Structure 1
Amino acid sequence: MLRRVALCLFGVLLALPATAQVRDTWTGRLMFENDVLWVDDSDRHYSNGIRLEARGREGHIWSWIAGPGRWLTGAGRDTPQRMGLALGHNIYTPEDIKTEELVEDDRPYAAWLHGDISVVAREGRTRTEATLSLGVVGPAARGEEMQRWFHGIIDSPIPAGWDNQLSNEPAVLLVVQRGWGDLVPPRPAPLLGEQGLDWDLVPHADLALGNVFVHAAGGAVLRLGNDLGWDLGPRRIRPTAAGGDLACGRRGFVWSVLGGVTGRAVVRNIFLDGNTFTDSHSVEKNSFVGDAWYGLTLSWGGLRTSFIHTIRSPEFEGQRRPDHFGSITVAWSP
């Protein structure tokens, strides 16, 4: 049943750009994160994430979510809103994936399959997004099948310990995120302004509540490039999802290099704490986790790509070293 629902959601997202009317109102984005994209060929902890999004233009929002969206984002009646739909899948594993035995001092195997609906409100270059995510954690999320299939393609070791994964559990998550693009807006870069290069700094914060994550986070993104005024930097997959478009449409060649940091005060992480309602394997999580990341974005016409490398501090007691993973995003708009 869950697989049918996921396939239906996937089909809806793919079909949205298919008609002339929808092409005028929706944009798409595909995000892929994997530790194999990092040069040390690591395969541990946050192993893979994929997310497919469809976003409406400003003013395109279903009426029944406009009111709750304004309440969650704090938007005024005249503040423009837009909506989004997404389908996401994340995989988490211990470092040793070759053993069938439970690795007691490492994080559990887990997968998360979810569908999201979101509302975005914009005032100037301040962007607030509220997202409700509904899905499942456990075998129904098909993490074992997904990882076995992908490892077969890239000729990596086949994971043997998925019998120890978290049990099936409904996954509910509400996230409210804000980016303040007006605090340090784009301005000519020192020594490079005559070449048409600008820089900006975008602080951001978010609050996550649910049985998947409970955390408060904050950070900032520093960018250097041209035509920075139309967005707040590239988006990434949760729990780090800073960035987002302020405007859509075709543009000339736009590029930027960027770096950022994010810190999270963690109250709950189901992928470390284990199942909410049943006994399961778990580890002692760290109460504070930080990400540092850097990358490059390139845009031409309606197509945009970004390449990001993230370094994540240890998430649980006994983790010997930070994790590294790469992110590739492709976005398109009419």
Structure 2
Amino acid sequence: MTTLVIAAAILLPAVSVRAQPAPDTASIWTLQDENASISASKPTDRFYVNGLRLGWTSPTTVVPDFLQNLGHTLWGNGQQRISFDLSQQIYTPVNTQATIPNPRDRPYAGLLLGDFSLLSDTDDSRSVLALSFGILGPAAGGKGIQNGFHNLISQNVVNGWNHQIQNTAAVELLHERTWRLPIATVAAMETDALPSLTVAVGDVRDYLQTGITFRIGQGLNSDFGVPRPRPGLSGGDAYKPTRPFVWYAFVGADGQAVGYDILLQSSPFRGGPHVGKTWDVGELQGGFAVMAFGMRLTVAYVAQTQEFQGQTGGLHQFGSASIAFRF
């Protein structure tokens, strides 16, 4: 906990004067999905199986005054936005045909979250304060969504959902800072680096994450990287194209120090299926983003190290894609 407090202090620097972007009157809608079927590893459809997210991000001109004041107090000069997300994540063990799951494998779990975020952008940084509420367990609908989709595409149903982690209220507080550091322009192509630092506490996952993304393309100052459901490197949903056609390719890596993960350990107050977490988790990701006609398409491929003791199959791999629209 001391480490997390220190990290929070680092993420909340004293007020400084930075150039801020021009106001943006557009709302942004984002639809994103991550799925372990898009994987070079075998078997697929295991561990973190699917993450579906729908998000709305406000214009900079409609943020309530008290939130504007909070943003200026926390981060100084910057353009503020608010956003709302609804997300569902599904987790399973490797063997989904067994009626009684292997107690040494990842537990079944569904997680449904509603997220509220306050964002602040300057020309060279993005800061995010997010509060999430939701439910972990059968009420999150993981069993119905996964087996319903499997029926739709004529795949075998998953048999072990009766042994999932039981209903538990989910609360999470997250603070994140991403910096945008231009490197050079070569043959009309820009390059930059996006170092980031994230700290999250709550009854879902307590972790400290640091990472960096490198990009090459045109119009890099249009956003702060591709969005991702957290944990993971996320540039967020807000974007503002600075040229008619924006594109970039990217590669990034992050490391997470995990203090607690209810999706692996169950609730310490209620018990339930659980495995021993791994305290250090790393990710590699790469992909591309394209912006045109007010839309943004992003695609990423993610490889993740072991999250729990005894995890098999090498790096866990999955694909991530999002489509967003400005109105």
Q: Scaled by the length of structure 2, what TM-score is found?
A: 0.88
Matched with 2:63 is 61
**Does 2:293 match 1:326?**
no
Residue correspondence of structure 1 range 156-235 to structure 2 within 5 A = 156-181=155-180, 184-185=181-182, 187-188=184-185, 193-194=186-187, 196-235=188-227
* Distance in 2, Cα, partners of 1:90 & 1:107: 14
2-structure distance, mates of 1:26, 1:94: 39
**Unpaired segments of 5 or more residues in structure 1?**
1-22
**5+ residue gaps, structure 2:** 1-23
CA contact (8 A) 1:97 1:159 kept: yes
Structure 2 residue 145 is the aligned partner of structure 1 residue 146: yes
C-alpha separation in 1, matches of 2:93 and 2:112: 19
1:34 counterpart = 2:42: no
Check if 1:109 corresponds to 2:127. Answer: no
- Partner amino acid for 1:248? K
1:37 aligned counterpart, secondary structure: coil
Structure 1 residues 319 and 168: CA distance shift in structure 2, 3 A: same
Identity %: 31
3-state SS, counterpart of residue 97 of structure 2: coil
RMSD: 1.8
Higher helix proportion (structure 1 or 2): 1
Q: Is the 8 A contact 2:219 2:241 kept in 1?
A: no
Task: Name the amino acid aligned to 1:103.
Answer: N
Match of 2:75 in 1: 75
Post-superposition CA distance 1:83-112 (Å, at most 9, x none): 101101000110111011031110110011
**Further displaced range: 246-255 or 122-131:** 246-255
Shift of 1:39: 4.1
Q: Deviations over 1:257-312 (max 9, x none)?
A: 11000100000111111124201111011010000011111121211111110000
Query: 1:241: Cα distance to partner?
Result: 4.3
Q: Deviations over 1:193-235 (max 9, x none)?
A: 22x1111111011000000010000000011111111211101
Taking a change above 3 Å as real, the CA distance of residues 111 and 240 of structure 1, as seen in their structure-2 partners, is: same
Quick one: distance in 2 between partners of 1:236 and 1:62?
26
Structure 2 partner of 1:275:
267
2:317 partner amino acid = H
What residue identity is the alignment partner of 1:233? G
- Provide the C-alpha distance between the structure 1 equivalents of 2:242 and 2:151, rounded to a whole number of angstroms: 38
One-letter amino acid of the counterpart of residue 60, structure 1: V
